[in-house]
Each structure stands twice: as C-alpha cells, then as structure tokens.
Structure 1
Amino acid sequence: MERSQSHLVLIPSYNTGATVFETVKAARAQWAPVWVVVDGSTDGTARQLEAMAAGDPDLSVMVLPENRGKGAAVLAGIEAAQAEGFTHALTMDADGQHPAKLIADFMAASAAEPSAMILGKPVFGPEAPALRVNGRKVSNGWANLETLWMGVGDSLYGFRVYPIEPLARIMQSQSFMRRFDFDPEAVVRLCWAGVKPINMDAPVRYLSAEEGGVSHFNYLRDNTLLTWMHTRLFLGFVLRLPMLVWRRIRAAS
C-alpha cells in the first residue's frame, strides 16, 4: 500500500478497551498513514498501541496526558498533521462503529474535491438504539437551519474527511468544539466558512457489550452540551444570515 502524503486517518481514542486495536488494524489494512490520539485513556491501551506503532512505520500514536474530549484530541492530531504537511484527515471513532472498508472511497472523493468536506451519512442496522436514531434528527434539523440548508446529511456521524487548514483555523479561533459538540459544530462552522459538504452513505454499527461495545455518551450531560451549542450557533446564524442568503443566491444564478 502506497503511503499518502496528503491524507491520513485520524482516530481519537478514550477508554475503548481492546476494540481500539481491531479498529486500528482495520484502518491500517485500508490506508497509510493512520494516526491514533489517545485522549488520556486509563485503560492501558496506550502502551499496546505504542507497541503496535513501534513495528509499523505507517502507524503513529500520540498520547495526551489527560482526557480533554474528542474535539481536543482531533485538534491535537490535525495540528501535528498540518505541521508535517498533511492537508486532509479522515476521522473515525475507535469503538468499531465506523466502516474502515470505506476509507479509500472517502479519500478518493476528497481527492476529487479537496476543498470540500466528505461527510458520512449513517445507514443504521436493526441493532441501532431507537433513541439514538431518532434523537439525532433534532440536531440534524438545527444544523440544516443554521447552514441555510447547504446540504448536511448528518451532523453527528464522525466518519468524515476534513480539509485540515480551515478546520484548524476555526478551532484555534475559539474555545468551543472540544468535546461531544465537536462533530455538529465542525460541519456548521465549516459551512459558514464556505466549505461544501458532500454526503456519502456509510453503515454504522452499535456493538453490544459482549462484542466490546463502549459508549461514553451521557444523555443528560451531552444533550445539555448540544442544546447550548445550538443556542450559540443559532445566534451566529442570525448574524451571518445576510451572507448565507447572498451566497445561496449567487450559487443559484
């Protein structure tokens, strides 16, 4: 497999147990390089990941000293990647939910339109919790309103290819987008910055506890975080509405 000089796979990981090893192996079977950002995990996976990387020049592991949140882990990864000359990062979760077999397809779509972001649009299986499937419709509705329906297929699904420069610039300019609010806020703010979303279907798996499934989603805490996020994004949308309307008119003409 030829090592990409522009696109890398970035996997933030926090206390996912042995599942992260299978996720990394699956990603490496499809792409090089793969970077893992261990977000202050206390489950001992960092040492084994570093051992895996020692025997694989196309696998890199960054260990953060404390848990900072998914967005903070992604930011640490893309800043390091940008410093090494990478232009795009495909983010995927470490918990086995995302389809490694589609990495090459998403990277090809990104290479064809490098100024765009390639967004996974989840295809749910029968095991998907109804509360999670239906609950995301609220966030999707707000995200589409806040972007004046630029075409965000799903605001929460984290299997995506981001152009690094605009994402890093947006995150470095403010202190939000550091935890569970990262995925939806990233697409909204990138749309505001003029980054076009391209949607591609991708299956999502919800692993049972017996299969090694791990979820750090807390319904009260994280829904409160999302509510605050959409409140401030809506205020930002109102301020940007003339610009967004003008952009839509110009695109249609």
Structure 2
Amino acid sequence: MQADVTSTPPRASATHLVLIPSYNPGMKVDETVRAARAHWNPVWVVVDGSTDGSAERLQAMAAQDDGLRVIVLPANRGKGGAVLAGIEAAAAQGFTHVLTMDSDGQHPADLIPRFMAASQANPEAMVLGRPKFDASAPQLRVQGRRVSNLLADVETLWAGIGDSLYGFRVYPITPLRTIMTRLPWMRRFDFDPEAAVRLCWAGVRPIQIEAPVRYFKADEGGVSHFNYARDNLLLSWMHLRLVAGFGLRLPGLVAKRVVSGGH
C-alpha cells in the first residue's frame, strides 16, 4: 500500500472521517496512516492501549500533519471500544460518518474516496466492504467466515450485509453510537458483525462495494492478534445473542420486508 506523496492533498471533510483503531500493529501502521492520509482528510487513529511504540510514532506524525489526529487510550478496550471512543469524539466535533479500517495494511486505502462518495450520496446507509481475497488469505479463516456470514444473513432476513466480518466500511455515527451505548458488550473483536446486524435491525440500509484484502506474513511486517479458539468463541456467543434477538424481532422484520416489497 503506497501513498502517492506527489498528489494534491485531499480537502478536509466536515462530515466524514477515516477512523483507524490500532492495537500493537507494528510498523505497518505508519504505512497505513500515510496511505489513508493520501486519500482522505481527516484521518484519526485511536491507539488502543498499545505498548509497541506506535503511539509515539503516530503522535510525531500528527505533529507535522493537521489532517491527522491521534487519540491514545491508556488501556486496551478492544476494537469496538476503540471505535466507540473515536465516534464519541467525532460526534462532539460535528462529524456524521466514519470509515473504519484496520491499522495493519490489509485494507485498500485507495478505495476510501469511493466508499466515502457512496456514503455521501446515501447518508442514511452503511457502506460495507465485500472482501476480494487473494492467495495471501489463510483458507481456514476464509472458509470459517462463511458460517458467520450465513448467520448474519439469517438474522437480518438476507438484508444484504454480504461479509459480516470485513471491517473496511462506513458507519453513520448516530445510530451506531446509540446501539453501542445501550449494549456495553459490543467492545471486542466481534464488534463488526454485531454492528452490521443491529444497524440493519434499526433500519440502516447496507450498500456493498467490493474491496480487496491482503494478509501480510510476519516477515512482511504483518501482525495478527486473532486467536482461533478465543475469537471463535466470542463470535459463537455473539451469534447466540443475535439469534435470540432475531426471534423476538422476526414478526417486525417480516412486516418491513412485505411493506418494502421484499427489498
């Protein structure tokens, strides 16, 4: 992911910002932030209790860049907790939407303008990335995510989420903040699929845009905090909650689908 340093810097948006939650990302975060800044202004990074020196590097970058803000959390809160801290700060400054992306270089910064344009044209919607995997993707994770995606489809009556786990997406702040404030458990790795499902339940329409994803090996600077046992247990418990909530909401969801003509 290379930033085009020769291009004209993007003009600052008053409504949409890029939000990057970051926990011990290694050196890849520097490249990720530079690439995001090459394509959007402003970019905020929420350093989620990192202990790898990335906070200091990012703060030094922000001191030289008015379009970059770094929020440092003193202790790790989890991805959802970092996103919540970011959207609360963003809402306080009048922003209405955030594009979330990972700090490890997996997400395509060059598609930020396209996702933001889709959100600006449909501000009531959420814009969800539909991942296009290459040979770098671990097949166990590619196949395993199909279960979560199928459950998310069932839980929303196939509302159009697509990939429930891909974190490259644009959220409208107000409904997401309302949901997360009400549900204190939406703070960890399983934040992304639960946010997509509950926003659908709240009437936020999903828009899908295909986007590539790249997994970096350790010798390429890749850092992964995914733990198959722990995080799959989190996802299983999350879907049990959502299935229970789906059962209670089913009559209303069916009625909405009938009224909308099945769309």
Say whether the fold is shared (TM-score over 0.5): yes
TM-superposition CA deviations, 1:22-56 (whole Å, max 9, x none) = 00000000000000000000001101101100110
Establish whether residue 197 from structure 1 lines up as the match of residue 223 from structure 2.
no
Aligned to 2:137: 128
Inter-partner Cα distance in structure 1 for 2:20 and 2:88: 14
Aligned to 1:170: 179
Gaps of 5+ in 1: none
Inter-partner Cα distance in structure 2 for 1:18 and 1:230: 34
Q: 2:28 aligns with which of 7, 16, 19?
A: 19
Aligned to 1:227: 236
Query: Which AA in structure 2 matches 1:92?
Result: M
Aligned to 1:181: 190
Count, aligned residues:
253
Alignment RMSD (CA, Å): 0.7
Give 1:99 shift.
Answer: 0.1
In the superposition, the TM-score normalised over structure 1's length comes to 0.99
Inter-partner Cα distance in structure 2 for 1:127 and 1:28: 25
Inter-partner Cα distance in structure 2 for 1:107 and 1:29: 14
Inter-partner Cα distance in structure 2 for 1:20 and 1:206: 14
Inter-partner Cα distance in structure 2 for 1:191 and 1:214: 31
Give 1:177 shift.
Answer: 1.5
Inter-partner Cα distance in structure 1 for 2:32 and 2:117: 21
Give 1:139 shift.
Answer: 0.2
Give 1:70 shift.
Answer: 0.2
TM-superposition CA deviations, 1:227-248 (whole Å, max 9, x none) = 0000010000000001100000
TM-superposition CA deviations, 1:126-174 (whole Å, max 9, x none) = 1211001000000000000001110111000000000000000000001
TM-superposition CA deviations, 1:3-39 (whole Å, max 9, x none) = 0000000000000111100000000000000000000
Match runs of 1:20-99 below 5 Å? 20-99=29-108
Query: Which AA in structure 2 matches 1:233?
Result: L
Percentage of pairs with the same residue: 69
In the superposition, the TM-score normalised over structure 2's length comes to 0.95
Gaps of 5+ in 2: 1-9
